[in-house]
Amino acid sequence: MKKLLLHSGAGLLLLPLLAALMLAASAQATTLIYKDFNSLVAEAQGIVVGTVKEVVSQRAEDRQLYTYVRLADVETLAGVYHDNELTLMMSGGYDGRNGLHVEGSPEFSAGERVVLFVEGNGQRMVPLVGWGQGVFRLQNNDRGAAIVTDDVGNEVYGVGEKGEILKANRHAQRAQIASSAHLTNSSSAQAKASAGRSDGGAAMLAPQEAKGAPMSADRFLGMLRQQAQSRAFAQELRSVKVGQALERKGRDAGSGASASSMSDESAASALPRRTQQGARSSMDRD
C-alpha cells in the first residue's frame, strides 16, 4: 500500500500533481494547526451528527482513489442541510488491489455514531475542520452511558473558558498538532505547552491531560446546538455521489499540470486553513 504523508502548508497539493513532488520530498508526519472548540464552530460550513452506514473506497472519474463515508440518520446541528443521509469523500483508500493512505486522515467504521464539523465536502482532501480535530465519536462507556470521545478515542470532559477542548490523553493523535500565531500569544495552558518543532519547523503543542467526568453525548449535542446560534451558516452543506472525483480549481488543475503552473488559489482547496507557508509530501511503499 502506498502512504502519503503531508506537511500542511498555505496550499493544497492536488493529487494529480503529487508525483512531481514526491521524489524531492522527505517522509514526515502530517502537521495540522490546532483548532479549539470556537475555531471548529467558526470554520465549519455545518455540523452534523449521524451513523456511519457504509465506508466505500474506489477509483473515481479522475482515476484517483477516494473513500466515501455514507452517513444515515443525519441530524444537522448547525448549518443548512435538509436530507437525513450525507456522503462525505476523502482522498485515499483501498480498492482491493491498490491503496493510498493519507497520513493523519481520520478513519470511520460502519455502525459508529459521529459528530462532524464539515467543510469543503467534494473540494478538500479531508472535508473536516482540522481533519481529525473535527471528528467526535459518541459511544457507550463501561456503564452503558453515551459519552463523547475525540477522533482517536480520548474521552472529552468539556470545553474550557478560552475554548480549549478538555480531554484525556491516552491515545496519540493521527497527526502532529502545531500552534498558530494567535494561540502562541494567548495565555491558555495549551498555548504555553510546547512539544518542540514539527518536521516542517512549526512549534508543536504538547498534549495536555485534563481530568474530570466524561461529557455525556446529550450535553455535547446540546452545547453544539446552542453554540451554533451564535453565527450564521450561509452556505448549504452538500453531499457527494460515490465515484465522484474531487473538484479541481484553477486553469490546469484538471489536466494534471505541473506544480509550477498552479495558482495559489487552486492549490488551497483541501488542506486546513491557517497553515504555514509551503507544502511537502512523500509516498512510500509499505
Q: Is pLDDT above 60 for 55?
A: yes
Q: Let me know if 274 is exposed, middle or buried by CB neighbors in 10 A (0-12, 13-18, 19+).
A: middle
Q: Is pLDDT above 60 for 108?
A: yes
Instruction: Provide the pLDDT confidence category of residue 205 given band limits of 50, 70 and 90.
Output: low
Query: Three cell numbers at 222?
Result: 446540546
Q: What is the pLDDT of residues 164-203, one digit of tens each?
A: 999 999 999 999 999 865 444 443 444 444 455 555 555 5
Q: What pLDDT score does 261 carry?
A: 27
The Cα 144–Cα 105 span in angstroms is 29
Of residues 210 and 112, more confidently modeled: 112
Q: What pLDDT score does 97 carry?
A: 87
Q: What is the pLDDT of residues 124-174, one digit of tens each?
A: 999 999 999 999 999 999 899 999 999 999 999 999 999 999 999 999 999
Q: What is the pLDDT of residues 19-48, one digit of tens each?
A: 444 433 434 578 999 999 999 999 999 999
Q: What pLDDT score does 248 carry?
A: 76
The Cα 248–Cα 15 span in angstroms is 10
Cell numbers 453554540 correspond to: 227
Q: What pLDDT score does 9 carry?
A: 39
Tally the C-alpha atoms within 13 A of residue 255's C-alpha that lie toward its C-beta.
Answer: 7
Instruction: Provide the pLDDT confidence category of residue 253 given band limits of 50, 70 and 90.
Output: very low
Query: How do the domains of the chain map onto residue ranges?
Result: 2-6+29-238
Q: What is the mean pLDDT of the chain?
A: 77
Q: What is the pLDDT of residues 90-100, one digit of tens each?
A: 999 998 888 99
Work out the percent of the chain whose per-residue pLDDT is above 90: 57
Tally the C-alpha atoms within 13 A of residue 25's C-alpha that lie toward its C-beta.
Answer: 23
Q: Is pLDDT above 90 for 264?
A: no
Q: Let me know if 260 is exposed, middle or buried by CB neighbors in 10 A (0-12, 13-18, 19+).
A: exposed
Please choose, from the candidates 174, 145, 224, the residue with its C-alpha nearest in 3D space to the C-alpha of residue 29.
174
Q: Is pLDDT above 90 for 286?
A: no
